[in-house]
Amino acid sequence: MRDVYVAGIGTTVFGAHEDVSLEALGARAVIDALRDAGLDRQAIETAYVGHMSQGEVTGQRVLKELAIPEIPVTNVENACASGSSAFREAWIAVGAGMADVALVLGIEKLAGKGLLALKSRSFEDRVGHIMPGSYALAGERHMAEFGSTVEDLAWIAAKNRTNGVANPNAMYRKACSVEEVLASRRIAGPLTVLQCCGTASGAAAVVLVAGKRADSEARRTVRVRACALSSRMQWGEPEDLSIFLPTHRAARTAYEYAGIDPDDVDVVELHDAFSVGELLHYEGLMLCARGHGAELVRSGATAISGTVPVNPSGGLLARGHPVGATGVVQIAELVKQLRGTAEHHQVLGAKVAVAQSQGGTGAGAGAAAVTILSR
Amino acid sequence: MTLDSSPFAIPRLDDAPPSADPTRFRVDRDGEARLVGGCCRDCGCVTWGVRSLCPRCWSTRSMQEIALSRRGKLYAMTTVQRTPAGYRGPYSVGYVDLPEGVRVFGRIHWPVDARWTPGADVELIVERIAVDDGTEPLTVPAFRPVTEDGDA
């Protein structure tokens, strides 16, 4: 694999965008990313577009409105890990020498406000299961096995929502305390509504280039060190729900490939669709030992002022979750951190950044992606 | 479990609403609620619900229907407060591990205000769910704690 660099980033504000078309959302992010990279549309050689439910040939429908040349376009779906998966495909294409410049777009337009719901309707759904229920069950198991508490989970939500107040692109920008999180409407198990991400529409784009096109300091600043992907494909054997194993496997692969130790990580953007997710992903990403997520919470290490700030942008909880865009906006936020240009909550001297996302159904099928970037 | 002994029993066979998934759960003609499993004739793999393809050895049409155990161990449960449209709550759902090495999902009837315990012995009962959207009610598997003498 050749070295691959992030030459440009672009993102829309995340919001309801009722009157903004899918094409217009995508255009905003793509134009900003190309301008940031200082590249003309003719330079793009291939494009990967991550989305969950925008329909057939979404990438082509969006990019044709910008008169992008008729390059290979691949649409990528992996539920909430669609954007990260698209990014990974682009990294592989450039790294393998199939293209010198690749465009990644993550995009989603979700109708209405409220909690996330997936399309497939399983037996579990008919019994009365809900999407947050899967995370609630994982949280219950973690609390029963390791003694984590509802306060630990609420702290995560309060941290991220409050971080998001300073993020001009976030949709839900309201600070809240642990008490307010705990007192908010109950959803399932330990989860209250402020611990659950809200739907949003939005887009984010990234331009990746091979070494020979990273011919300016700006383009060479951020290098992609690894993109790992793992799956959840449970056909019926009981699995351990107190850890998200696909995240852990992807993390191990990524750290090993990059030759980086979890202790070297300076900043993280991870998948806090629900507070329980962040708690378990601390362990999956090996920011702490297995079962010690609550201790990491209580140490304050993942707060803005801590040793490894997690979700300084506010995460999914503050940004909202335009499904396909999430994996790509995480990359964009981390690129700003590494460049030193974060408008908010800049982690001083950040050199190594990790992005993690996961998607899937409550019925045993899903994906998790871990990406490592460095300066 | 027979028709007469459980507070959640279906009073008459004729009244039994359809199962949420008859390949996985049924109330039989003799009134017994059972979880339906598949056992592969070729490799012994057991699944919840009969499958036309054995996931382990890939034999087709090799799975025979078996009745899964009625008792198992509670793996995890959670109470759903914000129920889906038409579902009356709150209610609890969760996973139960059966001795066959299969994990099943259903409603959980745990005493209110008591903390659930991982590994607690639970037994199968049936629950009728009414969904307020004009559709027929469903029967779904449910589990309640087992006590020493078998009565919850």
Pair A369, A358: CB distance under 8 Å: yes
Question: Can you list the residues of chain B whose pLDDT is less than 50?
Answer: 1-13, 151-152
Closest alpha carbon within chain B to A136: B78
Closest CA to A39 of A218, A223, A281: A218
Give pLDDT, residue A218. Answer: 85
pLDDT of residue B152: 45
Question: C-alpha dihedral over B113, B114, B115, B119, to 10 degrees?
Answer: -140
pLDDT at A139: 97
SS3 A22: helix
What pLDDT is stored for residue A120 in this prediction? 54
Q: Does A188 touch chain B (CB under 8 A)?
A: yes
**Are B76 and A237 an interchain contact pair (Cβ–Cβ within 8 Å)?**
no
8 Å CB contact between A313 and A348: no
- Write the ipTM: 0.90
pLDDT at residue B4, rounded to an integer = 37
Residue corresponding to tokens 């999902």: B105
Nearest partner of A47 among A22, A35, A32, A64, judged by Cα: A64
Tens of pLDDT, residue by residue over A32-54, are 999 999 999 999 999 999 999 99
Question: DSSP H helical segments within chain A, as ranges?
Answer: 22-37, 58-63, 82-95, 123-127, 131-146, 150-163, 178-183, 217-220, 245-258, 275-284, 293-299, 315-319, 323-339
The answer to whether the CB of A167 falls within 8 A of the CB of A317 is: no
pLDDT in tens, A65-115: 999 999 999 999 999 999 999 999 999 999 999 999 999 999 999 876 566
Residue B21, pLDDT score: 86
Name residues of chain A where pLDDT drops below 50.
none
Task: Write b or e for each residue in A196-221: b if 16 or more Cβ atoms lie within 10 A of its Cβ, otherwise e.
Answer: bbbbbbbbbbbbbbbeebbeeeebbb
Q: Closest partner residue to A188 among B81, B97, B106, by Cβ?
A: B81
Least Cα distance to B46 among B61, B63, B70, B58 occurs for: B63
How far is the C-alpha of A124 from the C-alpha of A254, rounded, in Å?
Answer: 33
In angstroms, what separates the C-alpha of A356 from chain B's closest C-alpha? 26
Surface-to-core class of residue B10, CB atoms within 10 Å of its CB (0-12 exposed, 13-18 middle, 19+ buried): middle
Max Cα distance, chain B (Å):
47
Q: Which one of A125, A189, A235 has the shortest CB-CB distance to B55? A: A235
For residues B93 and B78, give the distance between their C-alpha atoms in angstroms, rounded to a whole number. Answer: 6
What local confidence, expressed as pLDDT, does residue A309 receive? 98
Q: What's the CA gap between B64 and B36, in Å, rounded?
A: 10
* Cβ neighbours of B55 in A, within 8 Å: 235-236
Cα of first residue to Cα of last residue in chain B, in angstroms, is 12
